Structures are given as C-alpha cells and as structure tokens.
Structure 1
Amino acid sequence: MSDRFRTLLKKVGSGTHTSAALTREEAAEALRMMLQQEATPVQVGAFLIAHRIRRPTGEELAGMLDVYAELGPHLTNAVRPPMILTHPYDGRSRTVPMTILTGLILSATGVPTILHGGDRMPTKEGICLHEIWQQLGINWEGISLIRMQEIFQTTDLGFIHLPTHFPLAMNLVGPRREIGKRPPIATLELMWSPYLGDATIACGYVHPPTESMFRTALELRNQRQFITVKGLEGSCDLPRDRTCIIGINRPSIDNPETSTFERLLLHPHDYGYGGKEVPLNSLDELINNIKAVLEGEPGELMQAAIWNGGFYLWCAGVCADIETGLKHAQELLTQGMVAQKLEAIANSL
C-alpha cells in the first residue's frame, strides 16, 4: 500500500463537506502512481469512484494530461499540424460512428490525422474504432510505434492503439470495469493528443460542464487550437437531427500567444444535410454501410459522412467555408479518393 497515495485519496474522497480538489501537481502524481501500479488495486478503485462522485476540475485534468504527455506514446514530424479526432474509448452502441470516415477524408486531402483508442472498453463496452478498422482490413494491433510513425508520415493517418502503444494505460481497464462507472480518465481521453507538437484537438462531449473542463485544462496546457463538439454519444461526430453546438478555440490574430474562443451553432438543415441519425444495429451492418459509402453509394450514411467531412475540412483550413468543404467531401467520397486512401493505408502495413 502507498501511504502517499492514501493521502491523495483522502483529499478527494472525504465526503461532500471536507473533500477538496487536487492541485495540478497532485493530480499528476496520483495518475502516475496508478499507471505505474504504485497504488494498490483497492486504492485505485476507491480513487476513481471518489473522483467521479466529486467531479474533476480542469486543473486536475491538466495534471493528468501532463502525465499522459510524459508517459504516453507520441507521433511527430507531420508536414503540418495534425487533426486529432477523439472518440470515447468505451465505444458506441446507438449511432453509427463517423470518426474513421472523417479521418480518411482529411488524410485524403493531405491533412495529417491521428485517432486513438483500444479494444472494447468498460463501461459501455460498445463497438470501438479498432474493431471497425479490423473489419475494414486494417489491424493496428502489434504495429510498433516506430512503424506507426512511418505509416503516419507516408499516409497522413496514424492510430495509437492503447494495448500496443500505451500498455501502462491498460492497467486501469480492470478497475474501470469493476467500479461500473466512467471515471474522470474517460474525460481525459477525450482531449489527449498523442502528438509531439502543435495540433488541433477535436473533443466530443455530452454534458455542457464537460466543455468547461476541456477549456480550462487545455488552456492551462497552452493548447490554443481545439474544437469542442456536443456530439453523438460523446464523440466529435456532428449530429444531423439537431443543432450542432460547437466551440472553436484559435490563436488570436493579433497575439498568437493568446487565443480566442468562438461559439458556433450549425443547423444541418440550413446546409441541406439535416436528417435522422443512422442507427447502429450490428457490426456487420455497420461495415457494409461504410463500404457502401466508400463505393460512392448515396444514402443517410453518405449524408452524415459529407456533413462531418465538410465541417472538418473547413476546420483544417483546406476549404474557405463550410459549403466548399461539403462539396469537396462529397467529391472525395463519390470519386473514390477516400476508398483509395483506405487501400493505401492497408498496403502500407
């Protein structure tokens, strides 16, 4: 048992009236001790559930991100700042995920793009990105970080697979399953950038207070370029059945050392892309639908792919406005260039 960790646990787990938030340094110390198994399984489980009940602060999440930056894997040397598309590690269960198609659209235009995640994860145990990649003919498992760096530089797309590239993080999967609730680490994963250098991070969320935590944590880490999306099931996928609530943080034009945050409300119907969300019924059906989109077939999933792809092409600076981005995304999909990108990635493994 770690006496030092017990002190940190007591601080966050002392109850409604006496518990207190950790400092950035203390939060970093606590996560480091959990990842490196200096805290016992009982201590880890107690900390995760106590921290969830108390709710993390942006400062605590900044400290935890410091540890992921210190101990986690990194890709680097992109030709331009990449787009980091984040996705809840415990997957999807209700709506079809668009993140992979969005990543392929971006990389097909030369925008370096990084996704990350693991295998099926508690508590939702939903369909994960790695599983979808596998069914599309790309298995990231076992590919070394050095080889992944080469693939990233060759294809403009990289995938950080937790079991392969960040085994320390896997030490917390068991406790996550046993406590039965998402811990604050799940929020941390939605704003983690496994890239060494400037990048744009697209962070999805469900509950509005989460966005505030994102902003505080990322600003403390001097991350000036990020996007927040009240997306589908906590992902950065834009909905089509409601107004998209988006925040865009950019370096200030007058002073790049500071940044500005802009609220953007996008109405899909205004652009001709409103509609019902595509339900997630089974993995087999999902893969068949994605393949149909890659072959240029029209339908609801094609509309969703264009809507997401067009928005992120605009965010990445490929297109001057969203309308142009939507048109470009449609061309990339219907003319087979996104399918060609998937094939190029498969051939590079």
Structure 2
Amino acid sequence: MSLAEHVRILGRGPGRSRSLTRGEAAEAMTLMLSGGAAPEAVGALLMLLRMKGETAAEIAGFAEAAAVALPALPQPDLDWPCYAAGRTRGLPWFLLSARLVARAGHRVLLHGWNGADTAIRQGLAQLAIPQVGPDAVAKALADQRLAYLPLERLSPQLLDLLTLREVLGLRSCVNTVCRVLNPGRARASVQGVFHPPYRLLQADAGALLRLPALTVIKGGGGEFERHPAKAVTGFGLRGGHPWEQVFDGLLPEETRRLDDGEADPVRLSALWEGTLRDPFSEAVVLGTAALALETLGAEDGLSQARALWADRHLPCAA
C-alpha cells in the first residue's frame, strides 16, 4: 500500500477532496511509522491536512495507529502530555502540580518533547522527577507515582514525524496526535493547547477514543498549566460524555504573565521547599493541580490541592 492514495484523497481539489476517514487515517499513520512511505508523500499529507484543518476522526485514527506501535506500558491513573515549544510559558510550574497529584496517591505519567526548549527537561532534573525509558516506567510509578517518558525513547519514529516541523517550517497534526496519544492507556488525561480551537478538536478526539475523563485548556505556552489570575474554560469529558466548564480566576486580575522572565530552574525546587515565597507561582501550581485532581474525580480539587501543598513536606502515605 502507498501513501499516495491518502494524499490523493486530501488533494484532489475543490469539490473532490475530502477528509480521511478514521480508518484511512490509521492506515496513513501506520505507513508513515513503518518507514516505507516516500518522504515527499509524508510531507504532502501533513501539509494538506494543515491547510484543510484536521478532523477529530483523523486525529483519533492517527493516534490509534501510533499507539499500536508503542511498547507495552503499565497503566497510570493520569496521562499528562508535554509537547509545547515554550512560548509565553516561563518556568514549568506544572511539574510541581504533577508532583502534588502524585502525592494524592495517583500514578502520573508525563511524556513529551519540546524541541530546542530545555526548560522542562531542566525542571525535571531539578525536581528529581525520573526521566525513564519504557522498560523503567513501572518501577518509577511504583516508587514515586510519577515519571516522565521522553518521546525519543517512547517512539523514535513518531519523533521523526514531529520534528519534520524543522523541515516543513510549519506545525503539523502530529503535535496534536502526541497530545492525545495516551501511551499508557490511562482512563484520565489532561491536555494543554496554545490555539483555542484545538481544545474542542482534542476533546472530540478523546470521545472517539473512548476516554472516560479528559480536561483540555488553553494553557501556558500550550502546556496544561493555568494562569491563576484569569478565568479558564475547560473542555473535555466526564464519564465519557462531553463536558465544558468555566473556572474563575484564583487571584485578582493582574498583568503578570506566566513567562515573567525568570528562567532559573532552581526556583522550582525553592518554591517546593519553601525557601521561595511567590504567591503567583504557588497559585499556578495549585490551580493546575486542582484541575488535574478534578479530572481524576475529586469533588473540590482546589481544597485538596491546598491541603496537599500544606502537607507536602510530610512523608507520602503508602
């Protein structure tokens, strides 16, 4: 089978082209990951999809096929993709949010790739969050209930498709596919987007993939990280059904941005240890953790996040 037929479907011209079906999208992804597709056809397919605009069925089909090719992983409680490029995000305070969720007893699997932006990888190292390959995920989740799986170790083939952005000069749907990939088949996922229209696209793809619980927000730089002084709208799923909710800001309106110019990853551990006092950054952590906890079923995620933060220096319960 050749990728040419899939390119033809998308590129026949006005009145004749159409979107790929979910099955056709799965076939196309299988071909692209196999290495057997002509690179010209891969580039054509990805750019035609960008020009047309991806559908939820296409994203779901791509993600299904990509997931089939992944190594087997233990099932975490929460899937947390990290694939933003760092614009307008600043320090990755959401890593502390993930740590709080893990302290609540939930197994959290972070996975991602951020191109030339090193902030997340530096933050992981600063916070001693294990960066592991597929064969070490189980131990990390058992020991710390928290692990980060780099895309280059999870699927080098998918990374090759993602980094075609450097060749094509434009983002492709592979970035969205990675966000909805859910490599550990968790029953709950939190996802961030940079462009608001993708919130509903990813929510609809999650529904097609039969994900029970999902929260998608426009987050800092495209990560799942909320600005505490602004209202945020969450899209996604609860009990497998479409869900949408507006969350009020946690702080008075202010002009401070998530990207406040601070880049020293030591600030992450300092905030956790209590040697740094920064109410704004603390509110980022608590607000983000609250959304994640409510995705996992908490009735009052913010109260739980605050309690976890107050007790963060106590030993974790077994």
TM-score, normalising length: structure 1: 0.81
What CA RMSD, in Å, does the superposition of the two structures yield over aligned residues?
2.4
1:243 to 2:224 alignment: no
1:316 to 2:305 alignment: no
1:222 to 2:202 alignment: no
Q: Deviations over 1:156-202 (max 9, x none)?
A: 11222111221221222442211111101111122221113x42011
Cα distance in structure 2, aligned partners of 1:86 and 1:188:
10
Check conservation: 2:200, 2:235, Cα contact below 8 A.
no
Equivalent residue number for residue 209 of structure 1? 197
TM-score, normalising length: structure 2: 0.88
Equivalent residue number for residue 254 of structure 1? none
Q: Equivalences for 1:142-161 in 2 at 5 Å?
A: 143-161=132-150
Q: Which letter does structure 1 place at the counterpart of 2:156?
A: P
The structural deviation recorded for 1:89 is 4.4
1:88 to 2:86 alignment: no
In structure 2, the CA distance between the partners of 1:18 and 1:266, relative to structure 1 (3 Å rule), is: same
In structure 2, the CA distance between the partners of 1:84 and 1:138, relative to structure 1 (3 Å rule), is: closer
Check conservation: 2:93, 2:268, Cα contact below 8 A.
no
In structure 2, the CA distance between the partners of 1:104 and 1:164, relative to structure 1 (3 Å rule), is: same
The structural deviation recorded for 1:62 is 0.9
1:261 to 2:242 alignment: yes
Cα distance in structure 1, aligned partners of 2:72 and 2:93:
24
Equivalent residue number for residue 172 of structure 1? 161
Cα distance in structure 2, aligned partners of 1:321 and 1:136:
27
Query: SS where residue 270 of structure 2 aligns?
Result: helix
Cα distance in structure 1, aligned partners of 2:180 and 2:187:
11
Equivalent residue number for residue 110 of structure 1? 105
Cα distance in structure 1, aligned partners of 2:292 and 2:162:
31
Check conservation: 1:249, 1:261, Cα contact below 8 A.
yes
Q: Which letter does structure 1 place at the counterpart of 2:248?
A: H
Cα distance in structure 1, aligned partners of 2:281 and 2:71:
33
Query: SS where residue 210 of structure 1 aligns?
Result: helix
Q: Which letter does structure 1 place at the counterpart of 2:303?
A: T
Equivalent residue number for residue 126 of structure 1? 117
Q: Which letter does structure 2 place at the counterpart of 1:55?
A: G
User: In the alignment, which of 271, 283, 286 is matched to residue 303 of structure 1?
Assistant: 283
The structural deviation recorded for 1:332 is 3.7
The structural deviation recorded for 1:310 is 3.0
Q: Which letter does structure 1 place at the counterpart of 2:246?
A: L
The structural deviation recorded for 1:44 is 1.4
**Runs of 4+ residues over 6 Å off in structure 1:** none
In structure 2, the CA distance between the partners of 1:77 and 1:35, relative to structure 1 (3 Å rule), is: closer
In structure 2, the CA distance between the partners of 1:278 and 1:217, relative to structure 1 (3 Å rule), is: closer
Check conservation: 1:89, 1:189, Cα contact below 8 A.
no
The structural deviation recorded for 1:59 is 0.5
Query: SS where residue 238 of structure 2 aligns?
Result: strand
Cα distance in structure 2, aligned partners of 1:186 and 1:274:
32
Runs (5+) with no aligned partner, structure 2: none
Count of equivalent residues: 313
1:281 to 2:272 alignment: no
Equivalent residue number for residue 68 of structure 1? 66
Equivalent residue number for residue 47 of structure 1? 45
Equivalent residue number for residue 162 of structure 1? 151
Equivalent residue number for residue 187 of structure 1? 176
In structure 2, the CA distance between the partners of 1:104 and 1:138, relative to structure 1 (3 Å rule), is: closer
Query: SS where residue 180 of structure 2 aligns?
Result: coil
1:327 to 2:306 alignment: yes
The structural deviation recorded for 1:88 is 2.3
